[in-house]
A and B are shown apart, each in its own frame.
Chain A
């Protein structure tokens, strides 16, 4: 799962244009929203697209995102359990 976490950090930086953030700046349990990486609601929508595009996971209830996108750790666990590609 470590490889997946690294991949996720890299993809998030790329997709969300986090210009001044490096992979090593993001800890597995850092909050992605709020005081952590400071992502916003549009970023949340982009993360939903990322799950679909890269891992074949369609979130039917966007409210699930609040739990799934808490951190890299929670994202990686959800992807591992639900990925279709």
Chain B
């Protein structure tokens, strides 16, 4: 499908670093993910206490989306025209395993409701939607590898059919301290063409700065 859409912003979080439009904006020492996530939250001046209740996958998706949407979707205002299309490889397995560990011992059996609610990958989309009051199209897919063509076509269809005016596409992968989140914003105006080659360059963090 030919595209006349554009990528206006992208953000990558991996290996204790945050890149925005190709520029490194934050880096920390190698620390566990939850410590790194807290450091990013503080460094970017975020103010949303519910962040600390999220599981790691939601924290990762939330931080990346927050950086993408900071100038676009103001918290507290309804934003109905921003769609979210996320994908990853490990689904919510990181939290699923933690939950399973917590209920292994039948003599010490206290299932945590707060952990259980994160045992689905699309909960991270819910967290971003709640934060920005997005009552819009959203989908979470599980693929072996980043599906650049699929993501491109999905975003193009949402924009072409008027389902959304902007689409945040993302790969938010996290399992046992290995994490990588790549998100980019697709819209009808801009300079950087929305095509498979550019998307792959963004995914591999090899695109020159926007």
Taking Cβ atoms with an 8 Å cutoff, the residues of A that contact B are 16-20, 38, 42-43, 45-46, 49, 52-53
Contact = CB atoms under 8 A, between A and B. Distances in A.
B116 to A, nearest CB: 9
A36 B110 CA distance: 27
B162 interface: no
Interface of B is mostly: helix
Contact of B112 (A18, A20, A38, A49): A49
Interface in B30-83: 38, 49, 51-53
B204 to A, nearest CB: 34
B63 to A, nearest CB: 15
B110 A17 contact: no
Interface of B: 38, 49, 51-53, 110-114, 117
10 contacts: A18-B49, A18-B52, A19-B49, A19-B51, A43-B114, A46-B114, A49-B110, A49-B111, A49-B112, A52-B110
B53 A53 contact: no
User: Which A-B residue pairs are the 5 nearest by beta carbons?
Assistant: A45-B113, A19-B52, A17-B52, A53-B110, A17-B53
Contacts of B114: 16-17, 42-43, 45-46
A78 B111 CA distance: 23
Contact of A16 (B38, B53, B110, B111): B53
A71 B114 CA distance: 20
Contacts of B110: 49, 52-53
Nearest to A21: B49
Nearest to B113: A45
Contacts of B113: 42, 45-46, 49
Nearest to A50: B110
A43 B49 CA distance: 13
Contacts of A42: 53, 113-114, 117
A68 to B, nearest CB: 17
